[in-house]
Amino acid sequence: MEFALFMIFSIIEGFGIMYLMLKIYRYDAASFYPALLVITLMSLQSYFLREELSLESIAPVVNILVFVFFMNVVIKIPLFASMIITGFGYFIFALLQGAMVNTIPYFSQDAIAANPYNGYVLQVVTAIINFSLAFLLNRLRIGFMEEISNKMRFPHEKWVVGGLIIVILLGFGMILHLRSELLNIIYYFAAALFFFIYSYVKETKGHSGNYFEEISRKH
């Protein structure tokens, strides 16, 4: 029963994260069945790392890598762009969920440890927020539209930024291992800010027209 509940709510949470990632960058929603397969596999490895090997600080990093793989291989987004899209979307999710854990007693780490159902509710609430944000961005036609992989602004930009992303992921695993709620929030915010600034700079320098100009994109 515990395994089934973990899988169900992890899959719901995973879909929320994925749709938020895509809509921040104005991509169409992914096909349901390929997304379900990948998110199910991601949830399985997360359960195995957390429950069987007690490596819960590694599981989110692996999840990010799986999302990058999904964006690149299934949705056919270039690898560099997949890293940016996944990084920004995932750290927005982490920041939102971390804020709830630190401000709402029902979702605190102690409360979840005492009653795992609190954690399942947290996952559902986070997914609802993510879906709502994705719907709002899509409805208002707000989001980044510049092809991130194109128009590099300085020599070896992909390598430099890619290296920074790897450092961010390694730091993410270390921060989770320290189990400091305050450091977690600060790190999530700093990481999300990095991806936002980079995407914003690419966007504003890539378009001469209105930032929220309507552009149809098909993938």
Q: DSSP of 170-185, one letter per residue?
A: HHHHHHHHHT-HHHHH
Q: What is the pLDDT of residue 154?
A: 65
Q: What is the pLDDT of residue 59?
A: 85
User: Where are the chain's structural domains?
Assistant: 2-203
Bin 21: left if φ > 0, else alpha if -120 < ψ < 50, else beta: alpha
CB atoms near residue 146 (< 10 Å): 20
Radius of gyration of the chain (CA): 17
In angstroms, the CA 93 to CA 23 distance is 13
pLDDT beyond 60 at 214: no
Q: How confident is the model at residue 84 (pLDDT cuts 50, 70, 90)?
A: very high
